[in-house]
Structure 1
Amino acid sequence: MPASPSTARAINDRLALRLLQQEGPLTAGQLKQFTGLSRPSVADLVERLAAAGLIGVVGESGEQRRGPNARLYGIVADRAHLAALDVRTEGVTVLVSDLLGSVLAEASVPIGDGTDTGPAVEQAVTLVERTAKEAGVERLHTIAVGAPGLIDPATGELRDSSGLPEWHRRLAAALQERLPARVLVENETNLAALAEQRDGAAQDRDTFVLLWLGHGIGAAVVLDGVLRRGASGGTGEIGFLPVPGTSGLPSATGCDGGFHSLAGAAAITELAARYGIVAPAEPHEPYAAALVREAVARVVADAGDSSASGFLDTLAEHVALGAASVVAVLDPGCLVLAGEIGGAGGEVLAARVQDRVGRMSPLPTEVRAGTLGGGAVLRGALLMARDGAQDELFAPPER
């Protein structure tokens, strides 16, 4: 059954808004060219969107002939404001942006291990409120929270996970209660994959696996452009993957003995000590990332540095043990090494991992270094918040 005139108009409006979001400001003539609509239809569309406060005149196109078609129309960036949160075991980082994703303010707060749940939640919520105020924002439309742990596919909520602070699970509800905003929650590694696909190392890939190398180990699986979460939301929990070279096996309550014990930050720090690699610690990142960065710098400066090369070679072998299992099951064609440690290793570590995976698997697999580093989670949360807000604001009415 054909769409009603009102639904057809709403679909055209949304198409125009998406074009303005992707291409930037456009003239009415350019909108006509991109959408294929008639000139009267575009004129009506522009009038509707302007009346709704979604677009406005932001300049002129520079054409010699002045007139309606020479005006540049753009999305009204302050039509809605967004917040993105990166929740870690040691604290929270938040940024506030406009509807187009331009960052207006950013701040962090450390939350100590011994902090009780109530005070920890209060610190995090207060940080969001304070950052919004510093950005001059009275009301947030959408808040996206990136956190470690499993997201329940039925409820969209963070599940109770052993080893993670209770305040992580309580934060989203507290934000929803205190702020008149829509709150979305997603696993941190999944958000990193979203960011690397949109703005980073996987922009040309519809199918890839992102390996997060940070304090812990995680993976995000994107197949045919769709992020896969699994029946229980546990796709990518490769820290529990049994691999050779560990002292035991993982259990349902802990990943000690799994891939985490071989390639997590603590294991990398111990490995660096065996090779005599030392480095000054950097704030807000695992010490292992500084060690990997130091080893890479030494290898780049002197390819004959046996200690640094040996450390990176052994680390690549450890990472490849988990990566090869992922390749054997999913055949993604591309692995992205992300997180603070993946970013620190860069192309030097990625090339070593690719070589070792190639020796263990007949499936051709490119290994790339993530380009967004530890900031990928926050960037992914911002993209999620922006998509959520735009879907709601630009959505056609229900028939």
Structure 2
Amino acid sequence: MTAIRSHAGRTASPRTARAINDRLALELLQREGPLTAAQLKSLTGLSRPSVADLVERLQESGLIAVVGETGADRRGPNARVYGIVADRAHLAAFDVRTHSVAIEVADLLGNAVGSAVLPVDPFGDPQRTVRRSVALLERTARTAGAGALHTIAVGAPGLVDPATGELRATGQLPAWHSALVAELRRRLSLPVLLENEVNLAAVAERRLGSVRDREDFVLLWLGHGVGAAVVLGGVLRRGASGGTGEIGFLPVPGTFQLPKASGCEGGFHSLAGSAAVCALARSHGMPVSGEDDAAAAEGVVTAARAGGKQGELFLDALADRVVIGVAAVTAVLDPGCVVLGGEVGRAGGTDLAARVEERLGRMSPLPTQVRAGTVAGSAVLRGAVLLAMDAAQDALFTPEV
């Protein structure tokens, strides 16, 4: 076995070296999928005895198991394929909105095993909403056979204070969002992670979606509200108060007033939020249906892509609005790539993204790609699952030294 040196230059103790090797093997199994001992030897550079020892240790700890065999004869120790025991722990993710709570339960590898959605009356009893949300989680986990949960991640609109980790609402967001996080922590007594919803969508797009090849990008969320997530050098940037990306408050031309600290009406939100998108569609003679603005905006943008000349004119007008926010972000950050996410951004697809990129090229000297978000389902839920998965794996995959 090759000696491993610590960051300080000292040779690591055998116990520390074993812990480092175990963690390396688990990370490879998580990233590459099931592997044979020979493949682990090749990927880690460890000796055959060292790999045999770590496989034995990880099996005894319940973290990995034989999941199949490979090779011509498919028998014997060399043919065994080892994989992470996915049901060693279960996770939960929340996507908290004004009108709904969406839940997903997943295994240790992030595979969904159960999901549910709770419609919410924004004017109803906040405590009742919190109780129903927690009860729904427990019921969903029980139905999925998940048993005890290891980690929960919650995505919510608003500012997450980097100093306290608490949610600080902006505008007219409901107070029960913070109460839900507090109740989950109190009742379940397990780690509950909180992150801004748009930041989680950016995590999902970088790991699973349209920017897996980018270290620098901005995700522009176009939905009920508007927001942005900033990733530079592969790191999610939150800002001094957690407010990086609150682009809904950006003063822009074409609105009726300047935004205020208490609400973003009059800012970019009033130009590109779902209510504004619906109003723009009506002004182009396009039918808008549905009580929820976000769903209605998604529907009308989807219809516009197949709506002939009328749909094209609407998409042109929408791109004229969206590019104002994109140009502001590009001028300040020069990320090289902007992803259009949220219900409207994803519904607009390449048709809207191409229009915005063309307009941006005429407005800015900075070369910038504009891409549509591609994560299927709720990007916020997927990002929350990834956040919980990383935290759980970090806890479970770190042996004591």
Correspondence for 2:132: 123
Partner of residue 321, structure 1: 324
- Cα pair distance change 1:80/1:282, threshold 3 Å: farther
Task: Show structure 2 runs of 5+ residues with no match.
Answer: 1-9
One of 135, 142, 157 as aligned partner of 2:144: 135
CA contact (8 A) 1:84 1:144 kept: yes
State the shift of 1:155 in Å: 1.9
1:391 and 2:394 equivalent? yes
Select between 171-180 and 255-264 the one with higher mean Cα deviation: 171-180
CA contact (8 A) 2:278 2:293 kept: no
Q: 1:39, 1:351 → 2: CA distance?
A: 52
Report what 2:312 is aligned to: 309
1:185-334 counterparts in 2 under 5 A? 185-281=194-290, 285-298=294-307, 302=308, 305=309, 307-334=310-337
1:373 is displaced (CA, Å) by: 5.8
Which residue, out of 354, 361, 365, partners 1:362?
365
Quick one: distance in 2 between partners of 1:387 and 1:55? 17
CA distance in 1: counterparts of 2:260 and 2:340, whole angstroms: 25
Letter in 1 for 2:102: T
Partner deviation per Cα, 1:338-374 (whole Å, 9 max, x = no partner):
0110011111000110011111100001100101266
Asked if the contact 1:152–1:159 (Cα under 8 Å) also holds between the matched residues in 2, the reply is: yes
TM-score, with structure 1 as normaliser: 0.95
Unaligned runs of 5+ in 1: none
CA contact (8 A) 2:170 2:263 kept: no
In the alignment, which residue of structure 1 is the partner of 2:82?
A: 73
Aligned residues: CA RMSD: 1.5
- Give SS of 2:263's match: coil
Q: Deviations over 1:275-328 (max 9, x none)?
A: 001144497943111111111111xxx4xx1x2222111110100011101000
Does the CA-based 8 Å contact 1:336-1:369 persist in structure 2? yes
SS at match of 1:132: helix
Structure 1 moving runs of 4+ over 6 Å: none
Question: What is the one-letter code of the residue matched to 1:368?
Answer: R
Kindly state the Cα deviation for residue 32 of structure 1 after the two structures are TM-superposed. Answer: 0.3
CA contact (8 A) 2:113 2:144 kept: yes
Which residue type is aligned with residue 215 of structure 1?
H
Q: What is the aligned length?
A: 392
CA distance in 2, matches of 1:171, 1:375: 20
Equivalent residue number for residue 89 of structure 1 = 98
Q: For residues 17 and 147 of structure 1, do their structure 2 counterparts lie closer, same or farther at Cα, with a shift above 3 Å needed?
A: same
- Tell me the TM-score normalized by structure 2: 0.95
Identify the residue that residue 376 of structure 1 maps to in structure 2: 379
Counterpart of 1:177 (choices 155, 170, 186) is: 186
**Contact 1:339–1:373 under 8 Å retained in 2:** no
Q: Is the 8 A contact 1:141 1:180 kept in 2?
A: no
Q: How does 1:335-354 map to 2 (within 5 A)?
A: 335-354=338-357
Identity %: 64
2:275/2:293 contact within 8 Å kept: no
User: Which one of 153, 159, 174 corresponds to residue 165 of structure 1?
Assistant: 174
CA deviations 1:194-234 (Å, max 9, x no partner) are: 00001101111110000000000000000010000000000
